[in-house]
Each structure stands twice: as C-alpha cells, then as structure tokens.
Chain A
C-alpha cells in the first residue's frame, strides 16, 4: 500500500515539473557543432571551385561504397587561375546508404568534404529512394551558399 502511494505520488510530482518536449517543427533545437549528418562537398571561395580534386580516396575508403567520383582536368588550371591540376567532374553520394561514419572526411587530403552539421542535413525524407542519390550540385549547394561550416573535417 505504501509503495503504491509512493509511486502515485511520484507521478503526481512529475505533473508539476516542466515537460521535456521540444516542439519540433516550430522549434529546431541547438544542434552540436560536431554533428555528423551527411557528407557534403566544401566550396573553395577564393578560387571559386570545389576543393575536391576527385582523388578517389574517399570512394575507396567508404565502407558501404555509396560514393562515386569522376575526375577531370581542371580548365582553370590551364588558364592559371587555380593551382589544382585535376578537379571533380561528377560526384554522387547515395544518402540512402551512407552510414555517416565520417571516414570519407578523415581520408580526404584536401579538406574537400565535410559532415553537414545543419538541420538541412537531417530533413531529407523523400518519396522515392532514387532522389536520395545526391549529385555534385546538391552536394555543393549548401557550402556554396556559405551555409555549412563542418565541425569535423579531417
């Protein structure tokens, strides 16, 4: 009997405490700087081109093989605007398969890829799983707009 009253008192006490709920769609709570949502490519502001040189290191290191990298000669290098001889041509990441393990970021020697740490990196529900395969533009859009500053680069 006493124990029962005790537990009922406990629940009653909780009624007067503050609910822990964060009202999600309205309130987006503070997301840690190191948050690892999904890998995105970083945009090199001064040369106005991606850092990525398409060196395939991340592609090789990805445990689930969800990346595809195509490399090409850098036109800007010919004109001398940039020191990068090679540059990324095509880049696909299948977010539907990525396990967010951060390895691609660690192996990249050019700090060209980083983990998205914004809410945009999480709210990615799609009606068709093909739409989860992100191409180069989608991968770079965010950092082009200067919206992402990955807490975790290599």
Chain B
C-alpha cells in the first residue's frame, strides 16, 4: 500500500496509478476472500454454529481452498447458451465493480487518482453492472437465469434513484461532488448527524444495490435456485461472487466516507495515514457487519414489495429530504434545522415502512377452542 502513497515518489503519474491499481487488485482479492471467511464465521455464530474451523487455524485457509477449488473446477457452457453473451457477461459484471476503486480515497494521500466529480463517477460506474446481469440471464438460456436477470436489472435501476437522491442531499450540504471534499467537510461532525433520513435511504438502497438479503431476489435460492448465476460454474461463477463482494466493499466504503466521515472524523487529517487507514477500515467494517447481520436475520422480500418500497417510499422521502435541505440551505437556517427536519423525516420513513405491510385492519388473533378433560385416570 505504501507503493501507492505518493511520498514513495514514483515520478510519472501513470506509473503511480498503475502501481496503485495493482496493489488495490491484490488487496481486493484477499479482502474478498476473507470477507467470505468472516461472513461464514459471524453468520455461524448467529446460528449456534462454529463456522469453518478445520482448514487451517480457525479455518483461516478456508477461503484460499475455496478459491483454488473453484479455479480448478471445470467450467461448463450449456449448448443452448449464447456464446458471446455468456463470455462477455463475466467481464461486463466484474469490470464496472472494479472501476469504482479508482476514485476511492482510502487515506488522505492514498488515492489512485482524484476525480473532480468522483461521487457521480462512483454511482455512474456501479450503475453499469446491470448490462452484465442481463447478458448473463439472457445468454445462459435458462428460465431461472432469465427471470433472475430481469429481476436483477429491475431492482438495480429502481434502487439507483434513491441512492442518487440520498447522495444529492449530501452534495447540497457540502456543495461538492467530490468524495474527497465531502470527507474534508466532516472534520467535526459526520454527515449522518445532519442527514439521518438520507442515511437510512442510502443504507436500504445500498443493500439493494449489492443484492444482499433481504433484497437478494435475483439470486433467491428458494425461488430461482441461484438465479442469474445458476448455469455458471467454476471460475466464472466465482468471478460473480467476487464481484458481488467487491460491490459490497465499494458501497460500504462509500457509506463510510460520505456519512461517517471516512478518515477525517474524529481525529482529523493530521494523525498520519496509519490512523486514517484504520478509521476507514473500521467504519467500512461497520457497514459490512451490518450487511451480514441483516442477512442472517431477515427473510427475503417479494418482488412487488421490493418495487413498491423503492418507488412509493424511498423515492418520495428522498425528494422530501432534498427539498428540506434546499429550504434550510437557501434560507440559511442554522445547521440544527437540518438535523431536526431530517430526523423527523427519518421517523416518518420508519413509520411508513411499518404501515406498508400492516395494510388494512389489524388482524384478529387466533381463537382458542378449549378442550376439557372428560374422564380421568
């Protein structure tokens, strides 16, 4: 990682970026591998289990073994599959997820390259991955896959809007679309304080964007038995898994930077890159653990509930958030107004989400028909 930090000065920018990217690639691979490991560990503990223990100490070699095994497994292509779509889909899903790392400032001075509109860039790039899903679904000529692909695309696009709008609220406050600037803005107070509503929306939308439960409809095991990836095997399938975890990392990082203040809050920039990296990783892990926790405890939503939740709840509330921010900022009210309005909005969101399922009259409880002992021993 030092390689990527500019004080090891590799003179030409292109070379530095190249080195940084390679480092990121390695880190990403290892990170993803161990993400699966601690996912299995944490979820196992939530289920009275132990998780991997036997391969290596604490099963630490488990992810390595899985990767190797998947690498040396035959990868099949159904005869009826469309060859071009089949081959392309892997690239089309993986590369956009990977691109996002270019604009991620891990510390104050470790950043592959500063993009002036990096926030917009991140969203735009991660929004491209639906092409891969549609290709995989359409190309692998299986009904489950096609259904999964269409669902995936519909879900991705539906939740991209609330995501964008929630981030817009932040942009309005910091008046910059650059993640770096946004982090610098939150030296005293992380933005989650000013934007509870935006944060909630972002959290939900990001889970949906990475297709983790309870929004894992495209890959829902109990319905479409693995969904888009059902036909893929061996290394291709593991590439898809890799991508979904990379996406998870990207959104966790984004959340950590935009709402939790990244490496800035609370120590500020001057504690050296070690601290900053630690902060970044810690805040990112918060998100990831939250994702795992949700995964282990919540059932899957139905597709119509998913859609109506995006369009009827999240988007109107996101628009409301923007409007409130605008009012407060344009008529420069004190910052506390942001907190109050947005907090109220957050409560409203929670209440609506509650109401959405509790439609109609409250259900009658079960009637208990008593049975009395007739004879006795």
Any A–B CB pair closer than 8 Å: yes
Q: Which A residues fall within an 8 A CB radius of B?
A: 1-2, 4, 7-8, 10-12, 14-15, 17, 19-21, 23
CB distance from B305 to the nearest CB of A (A): 13
Closest to B358 in A: A3
Q: Decide yes or no whether B73 CB sits under 8 A from chain A.
A: no
- With A17-B48, A19-B48 known as contacts, the answer to whether A11 contacts B354 (CB < 8 A) is no
B293 touches A12 (CB 8 A): yes
Additional A-B contacts beyond A1-B350, A14-B48 (11; CB < 8 A): A4-B297, A7-B298, A8-B298, A11-B293, A11-B297, A12-B46, A12-B293, A19-B44, A20-B49, A21-B48, A23-B53
User: What 0/1 pattern do residues 339 to 354 of B give for CB contact below 8 A with A?
Assistant: 0000000000011011
CA distance A4 to B48 in the complex (A): 20
B354 touches A2 (CB 8 A): yes
CB distance from A123 to the nearest CB of B (A): 17
Q: Decide yes or no whether B50 CB sits under 8 A from chain A.
A: yes
CB distance from B23 to the nearest CB of A (A): 34
| Total A-B contacts with CB atoms under 8 angstroms apart | 40
Residues of B within 8 A of A14 (CB): 45-48
Secondary structure class of chain B's binding surface, majority of residues:
helix
CA distance A14 to B53 in the complex (A): 19
Closest to B296 in A: A11
Residues of A within 8 A of B303 (CB): none
B46 touches A11 (CB 8 A): yes
A1 touches B353 (CB 8 A): yes
CB distance from B276 to the nearest CB of A (A): 30
Q: Chain B: how many interface residues by the 8 Å CB criterion?
A: 18
- With A8-B293, A8-B297 known as contacts, the answer to whether A20 contacts B48 (CB < 8 A) is yes
B47 touches A8 (CB 8 A): no
CA distance A69 to B42 in the complex (A): 54
B45 touches A1 (CB 8 A): no
Residues of B within 8 A of A4 (CB): 297-298
Closest to A20 in B: B48
A15 touches B354 (CB 8 A): no
Can you list 16 A-B contacts with CB-CB less than 8 angstroms, sorted by A residue number? A1-B351, A1-B353, A2-B354, A8-B297, A11-B46, A11-B296, A11-B297, A12-B46, A14-B46, A14-B48, A15-B42, A17-B48, A19-B44, A19-B48, A20-B49, A21-B49
CA distance A2 to B353 in the complex (A): 10
- With A1-B353, A4-B298, A8-B293 known as contacts, the answer to whether A15 contacts B45 (CB < 8 A) is yes
Residues of A within 8 A of B49 (CB): 19-21
A8 touches B45 (CB 8 A): no
Q: Decide yes or no whether B294 CB sits under 8 A from chain A.
A: yes
CA distance A2 to B351 in the complex (A): 10
